[in-house]
Structures are given as C-alpha cells and as structure tokens.
Structure 1
C-alpha cells in the first residue's frame, strides 16, 4: 500500500490555473503591443492611413485576445456561475467595446482586462502592480486627453508634453489650472484620473502604514518572546535553588540523627579499700 501511495503522482493544479500561468507573459506582451498601437496615431497625427489601420487592427486583436482569454478561463472553470460573479468586471470589459466600438472604449476595456489579469498573478507584488498602474494611467491618460483635446478650438492641450504635465497634476490632485480639458469627454477623463490618483495614493499610504505596523508587531513579538524566555529561566533557577536547599537540609538532618548528639559523661569507678 505504501509503495502504491508513493507511485501515485501529486495532484495537478486545475486547468484554469495552468492556463493562467502559461498565458500571463504572452498577454502582457500583447498589452505592450496595444500601448504602442494606441500611441502611434496620437503621437504622430500625420501618419499614413495604412499605419492607422494597422494600429487599429492591432488594438482590436489585442482586445480579442483578452476576450478569448476570458472565455477560455470561463470554460475551464469548475463553477462557471461563480466565476462570472467573481469576474463581472472582466465581463463588462469584454462586452463594453462591442456595444459601441469607440477607440476610447477599447482603451478602457483593455486596461481593465490587463489590470484584472495581472492582479491574479501571485508573483506580481502589490508594489510592482501599483507602480505599473501609475505609469499606465499617466501614459494612457495623456494620450487619451491629447487625442480628445487636440482638435478642440478652445483647448490648450495641444502637445504630448502638455498632456503629460496635465496628467501629473491631475493624478496628484494639484491642479495648477494652466492646462485643463474643455470637452465633455476630456472632463470625463479628468474625473477618472482624479479618482484613480486618490485611490492609488490611498493604497500607497495603506501599504506604508501596514509595513510600519507589521514592523512594530514583529518587534513587540520578539520582545515578548525574550521576556517569556527570561521569566522561564528565572523560574527554573528558583526551582533549582529550592531543590538544592531541600537536599542540603536533608543531608544535615540525617547526620544529626545518626550521631545521636554528644557522648554522655562516664561515672568514675569507686576505689577498693
């Protein structure tokens, strides 16, 4: 029986976990391709029509890859209804561009899918995720507001530098006011960046506070452990002293009982006449 148990292979992870592990890096590479395809027509507005069509095709292909990833994970899930309830944001990101195929909707949907997919990867730490989220929001926020505000007659965000500066001041909620969106869609982007900046600031602050609390708890636990060890050692020393005192008292008492005390005086014999 033991040999049979040893010959049995270890339980493999679920098919869904294996799929997520194998597709993590390819999907991240596709996300980089999406970022480049989204940025080229905005940074170079005078690009040819073929370049613009190619970038649009790449955007749709990347979104389709993430949508297919969601469908595959749904099919591999053991409890599909529970999977849909737990990943409803993923479902919204998949359905959103199909309702009205706007470029900005593809951007939002792909960012949501990338963020949800990266959050499931256990090897990606929270700090890396937060830094990547900040960089992504700054980059895509700048490109999105530039594409919306560049053609506005009353707008003052005309270059990529202006858009990046506006994104920084908006995410940090500083708001100097030298650059501001004038269109309705641009203001919607501004609200999204403001809320994202506040949320990320809260995450960073919470992480720093949690690190300090964990550090203090670790120091307190070490101090309590040392105090308990000292108390245990003190009790042990006191017990040893009590045993030594008991042994010394027992040895002295038995010696006194064996000797019987000092010898009694001997009476002198009477002299003979």
Structure 2
C-alpha cells in the first residue's frame, strides 16, 4: 500500500544532473542506473538532491535495471559518510536510470519498482533520462528527463509527474574545505573505473564458463575492444571536459582578482 504522502518538488543541482547525463550517454545498448542523495524538507515535501552514486551493474539488460539490497546499503553508508564530511543531514532520496532509444516515460516495471521503494519511503523519487533519441527535424539527438512517483489508480499502478527544478550548485558547498568540489570530481572520475570493472567482471564470467582456448582468445579480444571503447569514448572526453572546466575556473579567478584590485584602488 503506497502512502498518500507524496513529493511536491525536486530540486536537482547542475553538477548531479551533469553526472547523470554523462553516465546515461556512456552506452546506447543497455540501461544504466544510480542512486540520488541529498536532503528533504519533510514539512513542504521538497527534495534537494546534491549528490549521486553510480551503481555497478552485475547484469546488463537493454530494457530493465535492478537495484540490489546490497547496493542500497552501500549507498546509505556513502550518504552517512557524506553527511559527516559536509556536516549536513544526507540520505538516499531516489534513483535514476536511462532509456536509450525509447521514450522517457516509465514502463510498468519502472512504476512497480518505484512503488516498492515508496513503501519504504513515501518521498522516494525516480528520474529517467531518455538518450539517443534522434529528431529528424533538428538532425540531432535529444536528452529528455522526467521525474516521477507512483500511486495506486482505480485498477492499476500509475505514475505521477513531480515538478523538477535544476539549479546551479551553491557556491558555499565548494567552500567547505573543497569537500563538495572533491566529491563532484570523484563522481566523474569513478565513472570510467566502474564501466571498466563491469566489462572485466562480465568477461571473466564468460572465461570461467568455457574451456576452449580459441573461445577464450575470442572473449579476450572483445574485452580489449570494450575497454578501448571506454577509454576513447568516455575517459578521454571526460578529461577534456574537466580541462576546459579548469580553464574556465582559472579565467574566472583572474577576472575576480582583477576586479578586486580595481575596487581596492578606488
């Protein structure tokens, strides 16, 4: 039975949105998933999401993803550690996953999964990123995002869209001895590492199930190809993006220093 209590609004920081989108764009063949962490205003039923955890997929599927109890436990521990570092109450507030090449709307499986989590936390929320959806008119791919909860309709479970606001990350978060900034960098840098570990685990299972040397060589070749793809299509672009971000930050620092000197002279 789903509680009548439900979310009114979700506020998502731009940094978390960037991590989720980059994660969703890493593959167009399987769905990806992760968990959302932040603070919640219980009285106003508003979630403030300011962090996320990228989950390791033990089973890659093009049409569904699942979160194991172990991963929920790990994410809860991560939220506690983050709360201690930032000296703020943090907890797991929701989950996100991707819909490659299909619409952004949640399936019956997604709605059922969301309903299950709401039995534990009525303010738990789900985000879905639709990626690799091409628009013939614009000749470009689109990224769409929906924020939803589940509720019991007259005959079956239905979805309820929740207002979503994407805001820039508060500057004060970056002044806590750089802890928030370091967390964002760790979230980005861990993405290629997690994808590589998924590929290694997947191919190790195949190697353990075969005794044929030729098949083993074939699997090794595909593993190498997959790892090269991750490095060239994920890790290197992320490095380039972070370098450009560093240049922009340094330019901003110089501009502010120049403005400070000007104001001090006057």
What TM-score do you get using the length of structure 2 for normalisation?
A: 0.34
Higher strand share: 2
- Determine which structure has greater relative contact order: mean sequence separation of CA pairs < 8 Å that are 6+ residues apart, divided by chain length: 2
Structure exhibiting the larger radius of gyration computed from Cα positions: 1
Structure with more of its chain in helix, by fraction = 1
TM-score normalised by the chain length of structure 1: 0.34
